[in-house]
A = this chain, B = another copy of it.
Amino acid sequence: MDWLLKLAFRQIIERGSLIIRSPSGQTLSFGDGQGPPVGIRFTDRMAVVALVLDPDLKLGELYTDGRLIMEQGGIYDFLRLVHDQPAALRKPLLGRLVDRARLALRWLSHSNGAARSRRNVAHHYDLDGRLYDLFLDEDRQYSCAYYETPEATLEEAQRAKRRHIAAKLALRPGDRVLDIGCGWGGLGLYLAGVAGAGEVLGVTLSDEQLATAQRRARESGLEGAVRFEMQDYRAVEGRFDRIVSVGMFEHVGLHNQRTFFEKCKSLLADDGVMLLHTIGLSDGPWFTNPWIDKYIFPGGHLPALSELMPWIEKSGLVLTDVEILRLHYASTLRDWRERFMARRDEAAKLYDDRFCRMWEFYLAGCEAAFRWRNVVVFQLQLARKQDAAPLTRNYIEEGEAALRRAEAGSGRSAVPEGRRLASV
């Protein structure tokens, strides 16, 4: 297989230093030798064939299965090397055909009904809560943080994210808030406990998240103000002054985008404001990476703005602001990965070594996608009326400052400490 390795990697690696040990024991070098060397080893010939034929799916599988082994540097270093090539990665014809086929298949098979949505969610979010404690911040914010400075810690950046989102909601005292995809409850507790929402309903499809969120509501004495329920967003009834959805839209799926915006419009009060925080693609519609779809987020779909805008415009919602958070998720994923790797032994005890490799690849691969490719986070603010949200954006910084004071003044954070959160 040495000829195949040479054929494939010579085209790709022009810069840096890649050293491959082939299944036959040969050592092959690629690149210009500059920079720290990255070394990989293939355990068997079929691993080489699989990688060359379908790298998008197989790289993650081979690494997870221990058939592609990092001998120098980690999998993240390998991804960096691959993305740091002078010529943009241009797939060979075969690769592009595979892409087209996947695009068509995804389009045809993508339907997230209520039951399937719940299975998709359980696949990821019902993992042992202790796993998430290993790498998330103390509030278990499992979405892109907001790094006000490059030096911010993960904890600081996640607090800043909550503030940023709360400020964009332009909450009025007593507002009824709906949080679609409430996770482990952190944002909902914050909106009720610090930001002054009158009543928060958080919905999730994950048993694990629901149990934790409900316990936190009880423990923080916010039971009267925050309610968490197991509910599909399509089944929610009523009208809300504010709707927030953070990191849930990625699971809505290709064919439910229209439903999502129409449903949100019907749930939003006439002078309501909505904040949708979602990962998306900056360069047009595409399908989810097949490895991510198979192993991490089944049924997920990352939207491009060109995909969302027609549905938003037709829904009758008015788009009032768009922030495009660039590289913030790369920083978040870097912090998650570093934390995870520092406590990898504990993760291996919860699951196993194979799981740890899969998780490392997930975090490293996503970071690469945000750092060097086309993946960003959209914060879309929507309303039913043009002037529901303030007409200049200063209120966001002002709101953040007020929330900072409220956090300090409240004596306690509405958010329980990390130790109390652990779901053991």
Binding site for B on A (CB under 8 A): 146-148, 281-284, 304-306, 309-310, 312-314, 316, 318-328, 376, 386-387, 391-394, 396-397
Contacts and interface: CB of A to CB of B under 8 A. Distances in A.
Nearest to A284: B313
Q: What are the nearest 9 A-B pairs in CB distance?
A: A306-B309, A322-B322, A284-B313, A326-B386, A306-B310, A305-B309, A283-B313, A282-B318, A320-B324
Contact of A326 (B147, B306, B387): B387
Contacts of A283: 313-314, 316, 318
Number of identical monomers bound together in the oligomeric complex: 2
Given A284-B313, A284-B314, A313-B284, A393 B306 contact: no
Contacts of A319: 282, 305, 322, 324
Given A386-B326, A386-B327, A397-B394, A313 B306 contact: yes
A218 B281 CA distance: 46
B146 A392 contact: yes
A316 B235 CA distance: 39
Given A392-B148, A394-B397, A282 B326 contact: no
A397 B395 CA distance: 11
A130 B277 CA distance: 49
Given A283-B313, A318-B324, A319-B322, 12 more contacts: A146-B392, A147-B391, A282-B319, A284-B310, A304-B313, A306-B310, A306-B313, A325-B391, A328-B391, A376-B386, A393-B396, A394-B397
B282 A313 contact: yes
Contacts of A304: 309, 313
